[in-house]
Chains A and B, each alone.
Chain A
Amino acid sequence: MKKSLYILSFVFLVSLLFAGAAFAQSSTPPTDDQVNAVAHKLYCPVCESTPLDVCPTDACKDWREQIRTMLAEGKSEAEILTYFEDQYGARVLAEPPKKGFYWLVYLLPPALILAGAVILFRSMKAWTTVKADAPNPVEATSAKKDDYVARLEEELKKQK
């Protein structure tokens, strides 16, 4: 639903672009929802970890008004985000931009997780092959007792 809101506002903005700046000025002013959709993707430098659309401070209110003005001027969401990024730095974006050093934030966790998975599977392989070489006496009994009821009964007996 949220997505469709974004798409809607996007479609709206694109149509504004096509209509041209002059017409955009005279068309209906942007709604609060359109402003919030953009503001949701921004963070002011002061109110840490509070997105702009819900931040109660006056500074953030001013930013939202600025977004409204820019929307009314026919600016696209991407243009507005770029404007704020140029003005205040990358920290206003919800995530670091995908460039240069910032790639690290996206690449390191998957790399580590992959490494963890490889280590885990290798050691599990190693453990299981050890077993294949030396048959374990327990295994022979386990096949017979695979029946769930029997196992449960046995367990309950033991716990008495």
Chain B
Amino acid sequence: MVAEFGYGILAVSFLVAIYSVFAAVYGVTKQSAAWVQSARRSMLLMFPLISIAAAALIYLLVNDHYEVAFVYEVTSRSMPTYLKVTAWWGGQAGSLVFWSWLLAAFTSAVTIRKWDRDIEFLPWVIVVCSTTLIFFLGLVIFYENPFARFWNVIGNIEPHMFAPANATLFTAQDGRGLNPLLRHPGMVIHPPMLYLGFVSFVIPYAFAMAALITGRTDDRWIRLTRRWSLWAWLFLSLGLVLGGRWAYDVLGWGGYWGWDPVEIAAFMPWLTGTAFLHSVMIQEKRGLLKHWNMILVILTYDLVIFGTFLTRSGVLSSVHAFANSPIGPLFMAFVTLTFVASIALVIWRWPSLHSETEMKSMLSREALFLLNNLLFMSVLVVCFWGVIFPLMSELFTGQKVTVGPPFYERATGPLFAALMFLMGVAPLSAWGNSTIQTLGRAMWKSALAATIITVVLFFTYTQNIIALIGFFLIALVLLVTFQEFGRGALARQKTQNENFFVALSRLMGRNRRRYGGYIIHISMMLMAIGILGMEAFQIETQGTLAQGESMKIAEYKVVFDNVASWDNNAQEVNYTRATVKIYKGDQYIGELHPRKDMYFSGQPMSIPGQRSTMRDDLYVLLVDWQPISSTAATFKIFVNPLVNWLWIGSLLFFVGVIFAAWPDRDPAEEPSRATRRVSHTSAAD
């Protein structure tokens, strides 16, 4: 009953979405405000409708309705209720509903704002958002229906929405349960964060398309969606970081990022989104790059759709999987269609997107931002090609290949280094004009200090050239950024007679975006310290120890104490937990408990024993053991230097984005670029 009800509601929302597109277009062609209002109201109806459908699905999940195929696949009786709820996005069909629900929520939030002078955007924003919704709801209704139930059709159990002829409903005793790997708290929050990021990027895209269609191609659409883009970017970044943390804690291979296609799928819209956040500033300040910003927002939107598809369906794992999955070709068709249509719009409006000013110097802020964009696009090219190539290879040679971490690391390493260098230079450049001399004057102190730090590190910490280059760049960016804070605050202190800290806080408060951006730069450098530590200095060793025997790695000594196994029938898992004693030099520093969980379903899970400090993480994995005598066990031990900085950096990153995105005043009140152009050499911002 509830299943039919939920499905019915989804079908109604699908129809309402189609209606809202129709009403919006009709309203524009007939110039009828009433029709546009009707489109808006039907758009507003989407959120409660999909919420009801989602509630129905959650009801089925929580109450063990194993006649529903989706419920059977992602839950089991032994799962706690909160996991049953979050199993909503634990499978493809449910996560498509989740996606639609978020999009409906965001679109509603957008449509209830005061539109005033932007009212002409409204119908087209509705058209874009509703079209996206129609696509996702269509997938759910026709192909990936979370409400489909099991039917016994002459001895065969098949999932269908409605009873086939001569069939009886079949209810399974228990569900298969959520993949244990996904039961980690990180995995509970990570997908919604990622999806929040994905879906929020639809809004800037919708406004961009509305701007193109209406011909209001000034930077109004950018101003209207600036916060959306920042929030989207924040959630996407958090999604990525949480995913990394989850991998580090649960997957048991000693790292947080494996250049897996699924990870890259979430990383690609982040790349274009980051480029977009930078390059819109050029348009706002200087009226340049209007075409390019359009292309970036289109790319981000389509990479979001592509990413949604890649992360959940697994159909890109082989040509066959793609061809056999009904939704693979549909997703590709949707991505291609929206991409071609959007680019066609850009070409149509090409003349009106001309630049308002010229580039003045190859070293101006805008020129450096362009370089930044080139680098982000380069990383994107590497990632996209790396993800697609195995399919290409299978298609053209019949041979599958792996494109693994060495490929990505080699290709993106120098690009990231160049990006860091830009991060050190660009904040010192001025809009409009900069020369080698002005840049050199601004930079030399920081560059010198960074060099000294690097030399000190050479004698005290490492002789690894790549690591030293990395540390130099990190030091340079940090120093330049601190210098920017200091210089601004000192200047203000002088002119306003405030004490340094008051001056600093007022300065930052007056220009949240600029200083929020700098906080984000600092956080990125902290993260870079962690990444560099892992890339350059991670060491590992593996060995089998008898009880009381020890193994050395770096300055640590690991002594095997004991290992024990027991079943937890309620959780349907067998735990094996080892105890090892850790010594640093000869000093005892504590115990660690690496664990191997073997789910009765056959899924293994390695939970590392971790000892985390700012200097390094000792990360011990239980690989194998003698099951009966328990007198020996095999351990794999990693020393992961500096990795904690990555997590600390991500916390600061969060602070930085919140600082930059925090609503202060209505952007409409800001002086427009046109009135400011007279004095556009302003360095601040």
Q: Which residues of A contact B (CB under 8 A)?
A: 1-2, 5, 31-33, 36, 43, 45, 48-51, 54, 56-57, 89-96, 100-102, 104-105, 108-109, 112-113, 116-117, 120, 124, 127-128, 130-131, 136, 138-139, 141-142, 145-146, 148-149, 151-156, 158-159
Give chain B nearest CB distance to A71 CB in angstroms: 14
* Residues of chain B with a CB closer than 8 A to A152's CB: 488, 491-492, 683-684
Contact B404 A43 (CB under 8 A): yes
A90, B26: Cα distance in complex, Å = 56
Contact A130 B393 (CB under 8 A): no
Contact A142 B681 (CB under 8 A): yes
The answer, among A50, A91, A155, for a CB contact under 8 Å with B399, is: A91
A75, B92: Cα distance in complex, Å = 45
A128, B430: Cα distance in complex, Å = 16
Besides A43-B404, A89-B399, A155-B682, 5 other A-B contacts (C-beta < 8 A)? A31-B543, A32-B542, A112-B378, A116-B377, A151-B683
Number of contacts between A and B (CB, 8 Å)?
Answer: 183
* Residues of chain B with a CB closer than 8 A to A100's CB: 397
The proximity string for B residues 396-410 relative to A, scoring 1 for CB distances below 8 Å and 0 otherwise, is 110111111111000
Contact B543 A32 (CB under 8 A): yes
A92-B537 CB under 8 A given contacts A149-B491, A152-B488: no
Candidate in B371, B404, B495 with the most chain A CB atoms within 10 angstroms: B404
Contact A131 B432 (CB under 8 A): no
Contact A158 B671 (CB under 8 A): yes
Contact B488 A128 (CB under 8 A): no
The proximity string for B residues 253-295 relative to A, scoring 1 for CB distances below 8 Å and 0 otherwise, is 1100011110000000000000000000000000000000000
Is B374 part of the contact surface with A, judged by Cβ < 8 Å?
yes
A112-B511 CB under 8 A given contacts A49-B404, A152-B684, A156-B492: no
A120-B402 CB under 8 A given contacts A109-B381, A113-B381: no
Q: Chain A: interface secondary structure? A: helix
A96, B141: Cα distance in complex, Å = 40
A124-B393 CB under 8 A given contacts A33-B541, A138-B681, A142-B432: no
A102-B401 CB under 8 A given contacts A151-B684, A152-B491: yes
Candidate in B401, B404, B541 with the most chain A CB atoms within 10 angstroms: B401
Contact B684 A155 (CB under 8 A): yes
Cβ-closest chain B residue relative to A142 = B681
Contact B253 A50 (CB under 8 A): yes
Candidate in B367, B377, B381, B510 with the most chain A CB atoms within 10 angstroms: B381
Contact A159 B510 (CB under 8 A): yes
List B residues 477-525 near A (Cβ within 8 Å).
487-488, 491-492, 494-495, 507, 510-511
The answer, among A54, A92, A101, A128, for a CB contact under 8 Å with B361, is: A128
The answer, among B260, B360, B367, B507, for a CB contact under 8 Å with A136, is: B360
The answer, among B432, B540, B677, B684, for a CB contact under 8 Å with A36, is: B540
A145, B542: Cα distance in complex, Å = 64
Cβ-closest chain A residue relative to B404 = A94
Contact B684 A2 (CB under 8 A): no
Contact B370 A124 (CB under 8 A): yes
A155-B685 CB under 8 A given contacts A32-B634, A127-B359: yes
A1-B538 CB under 8 A given contacts A94-B405, A116-B374, A152-B491: yes
The answer, among A54, A90, A116, for a CB contact under 8 Å with B252, is: A54
A146, B488: Cα distance in complex, Å = 15
Contact A96 B401 (CB under 8 A): yes
The proximity string for B residues 436-447 relative to A, scoring 1 for CB distances below 8 Å and 0 otherwise, is 001000000000
A54, B494: Cα distance in complex, Å = 59
Contact B374 A117 (CB under 8 A): yes
* Residues of chain B with a CB closer than 8 A to A108's CB: 385
A49, B401: Cα distance in complex, Å = 11
* Residues of chain A with a CB closer than 8 A to B381's CB: 109, 112-113, 116
Cβ-closest chain A residue relative to B554 = A1
Is B382 part of the contact surface with A, judged by Cβ < 8 Å?
yes
Contact B374 A127 (CB under 8 A): no
A104, B396: Cα distance in complex, Å = 12
The answer, among B252, B494, B681, for a CB contact under 8 Å with A145, is: B681
* Residues of chain B with a CB closer than 8 A to A33's CB: 540-543
Contact B370 A128 (CB under 8 A): no
* Residues of chain A with a CB closer than 8 A to B344's CB: none
Give chain A nearest CB distance to B228 CB in angstroms: 23
Contact A158 B370 (CB under 8 A): no
A128-B358 CB under 8 A given contacts A56-B606, A151-B684: yes
Contact A120 B634 (CB under 8 A): no
List B residues 658-678 near A (Cβ within 8 Å).
671, 676-678
Contact B258 A139 (CB under 8 A): no
Give chain B nearest CB distance to A136 CB in angstroms: 7
Give chain A nearest CB distance to B591 CB in angstroms: 23
Give chain B nearest CB distance to A3 CB in angstroms: 9
Is B604 part of the contact surface with A, judged by Cβ < 8 Å?
yes
Between A and B, 11 residue pairs with Cβ closer than 8 Å are A36-B540, A50-B253, A91-B390, A101-B393, A105-B385, A109-B385, A128-B361, A136-B360, A139-B433, A149-B491, A152-B684
Contact B252 A95 (CB under 8 A): no
* Residues of chain B with a CB closer than 8 A to A50's CB: 253, 258
A148-B487 CB under 8 A given contacts A91-B399, A156-B510: yes
A45, B359: Cα distance in complex, Å = 52
* Residues of chain A with a CB closer than 8 A to B52's CB: none
Give chain B nearest CB distance to A23 CB in angstroms: 24
* Residues of chain B with a CB closer than 8 A to A136's CB: 358, 360
A155, B684: Cα distance in complex, Å = 6
Contact A54 B254 (CB under 8 A): yes
Is B392 part of the contact surface with A, judged by Cβ < 8 Å?
yes
Contact A91 B510 (CB under 8 A): no
* Residues of chain B with a CB closer than 8 A to A131's CB: 358-360
The proximity string for B residues 358-388 relative to A, scoring 1 for CB distances below 8 Å and 0 otherwise, is 1111100001001100100110011001100
* Residues of chain A with a CB closer than 8 A to B541's CB: 32-33
* Residues of chain A with a CB closer than 8 A to B253's CB: 50-51, 54
* Residues of chain A with a CB closer than 8 A to B433's CB: 139, 142
The answer, among B355, B404, B681, for a CB contact under 8 Å with A141, is: B681
A90, B403: Cα distance in complex, Å = 10
The answer, among B359, B401, B671, for a CB contact under 8 Å with A128, is: B359
Cβ-closest chain A residue relative to B506 = A156
* Residues of chain A with a CB closer than 8 A to B399's CB: 89-91
Is B584 part of the contact surface with A, judged by Cβ < 8 Å?
no
The proximity string for B residues 529-570 relative to A, scoring 1 for CB distances below 8 Å and 0 otherwise, is 000000001111111100000000000000000000000000
* Residues of chain B with a CB closer than 8 A to A36's CB: 540, 542, 636
Is B389 part of the contact surface with A, judged by Cβ < 8 Å?
yes
The 6 closest A-B pairs by CB, nearest first: A127-B359, A155-B684, A54-B253, A32-B542, A94-B404, A142-B681
Give chain B nearest CB distance to A159 CB in angstroms: 5
* Residues of chain A with a CB closer than 8 A to B540's CB: 2, 33, 36
* Residues of chain B with a CB closer than 8 A to A154's CB: 679, 682
Give chain B nearest CB distance to A57 CB in angstroms: 8
Contact A159 B360 (CB under 8 A): no
A155-B374 CB under 8 A given contacts A5-B539, A56-B604, A93-B402: no
The answer, among A57, A92, A109, A128, for a CB contact under 8 Å with B360, is: A128
List B residues 405-444 near A (Cβ within 8 Å).
405-407, 411, 430, 432-433, 438
Give chain A nearest CB distance to B569 CB in angstroms: 22
A48, B263: Cα distance in complex, Å = 13
